[in-house]
Amino acid sequence: MIYFDNGATTFPKPQSVVRAVCGAVTSLGANPGRSGHSMSMKGAQMIYSCRSEAADFFGLSEPERVIFTHNCTAALNTVIQGVLKRGDHAVISSLEHNAVVRPLEEMKKNGVEYSVAEVFEGDDEQTIRSFRSQFRKNTRLVVCTHASNVFGTRLPVERIAALCRLNGILFCLDAAQSAGVLPIDLSDGCIDYLCTAGHKGLYGPMGTGLLLINCDTMPDSLIQGGTGSYSSDLSQPEQLPDKYESGTPNVAGIAGLREGVRFVRSRGVKSISEHEMRIAQMIYDRLQRTDGVQLYTMRPEISSHVPVISFNVGGMDSEHVAQLLNDRYGIAVRAGLHCAPLAHLSKGTEKRGTVRAVVSAFNNMRQAEYFCQCVNKIVSYNEKKVAFDN
């Protein structure tokens, strides 16, 4: 199989990640942070080391501010539900994932409001103005994706974060599609919360995510329980990371994530990004020259996009195209709305969705060429079918 569904999760994972996961299951099988025996302590040490390396990777000096979650959605929910209270207002971009939109919709029941700021591809000034125009007196939080999971469009998040700082508004960055692909530095203090998946551009296993808290406003914890600390106290500890990490941690996942972060660091974010973008640009250029293929963005560049290509073929349903790519050619892509209906509204693709190909560090030009040839064949198939139907 040729895998271009890396926006959902990257595959394959580096061998070091595979070895770490297996190694954790076989030799770190004790519950960390609970007992004092050697295997438990070894597991706790590994978890701390991952926490510490993740903090360093994102420019955070205090490892305890790195919270392990199940995925990016859990991290985003912690921020959204944990920060916003009745009477508060939030602003999100028009490219947000349902991981952001659905919690906010749910919170409408509790008296929280939100507004959507339009994103203007290729016009950062207008995007910034759009965000500013949505600010109200009671705006408490801006949640913004670093890059659209559907169209790859990058948002000027550094400027939006600075704008929030200026207006006393908390800023939460959804880096699900960008961590490991774009540089992210929390050291300037403008990003208050960073939420990301561990299993995408950081190459960890599924079931891992990160929340980095870079401010003094601590969200309420959504889950309370045993933390292996302060056990005689019936209240949830306020100390980080315990406040947000009740229950047994995903030791094998975290062991894999640590190796994933090391993999990204060893290759370098810039080098990974350039490699992926070369492939994405090649796909884009080939598809653009193919009559019958619709593309929805400008040519991707590192300055404006992550390596995500969304397209459609003629009048075909996107799911049908993805199915043909899988069944006939052994190519894995994702089709449909990609859990981001708002993003499709801006491109008029909300009914049939798009076919999405996302490049990872493990893809190569040969795969991309084959992929484009296969799309060409589907275009021909569609044209013949349309002619026959007429």
Q: Report the interface residues with other proteins, using CB under 8 A.
A: 32-33, 35-36, 41, 44-45, 48, 51-52, 62-64, 227-233, 237, 239-242
Look-up of token digits 């795969």: 367
Nearer to other proteins, 35 or 290 (CB): 35
- Give min distance, CB of 221 to other proteins, in A: 14
Q: Is 234 exposed, middle or buried (0-12, 13-18, 19+ CB in 10 A)?
A: exposed
H or E segment to which residue 154 belongs: none
CA angle 213, 9, 115 (to 5 degrees): 50
Nearer to other proteins, 60 or 182 (CB): 60
Nearer to other proteins, 7 or 32 (CB): 32
Here the tokens at position 87 are 């009477």
CA angle 160, 201, 20 (to 5 degrees): 140
- Give min distance, CB of 312 to other proteins, in A: 48
Report the sign of the C-alpha dihedral through residues 12, 13, 18, 19, in that order. Answer: positive
- Give min distance, CB of 208 to other proteins, in A: 17
- Give min distance, CB of 36 to other proteins, in A: 4
Nearer to other proteins, 231 or 288 (CB): 231
Nearer to other proteins, 6 or 40 (CB): 40
- Give min distance, CB of 82 to other proteins, in A: 19
Nearer to other proteins, 236 or 326 (CB): 236
First to last CA, the chain: 35
274 Cβ contact partners less than 8 Å away, ≥ 6 residues apart: 302
Nearer to other proteins, 41 or 162 (CB): 41
Strand order in the sheet with 334-336: 293-295, 308-313, 354-358, 334-336
- Give min distance, CB of 257 to other proteins, in A: 16
344 Cβ contact partners less than 8 Å away, ≥ 6 residues apart: 150, 337, 350, 353, 354
Nearer to other proteins, 55 or 340 (CB): 55
Question: For residues 58 and 261, is the Cβ–Cβ distance under 8 A?
Answer: no
CA distance 154 to 157: 8
Pseudo-torsion of CA 196, 200, 203, 207, nearest 10°? 70
Nearer to other proteins, 151 or 244 (CB): 244
- Give min distance, CB of 225 to other proteins, in A: 14
| Chain Cα centroid distance, residue 355 | 18
- Give min distance, CB of 9 to other proteins, in A: 27
Neighbours of 251 (CB within 10 A): 21
- Give min distance, CB of 51 to other proteins, in A: 7
Residues in the chain: 390
CA distance 73 to 49: 24
For residue 389, give the nearest of 328, 329, 315, 322 by alpha carbon.
Answer: 315
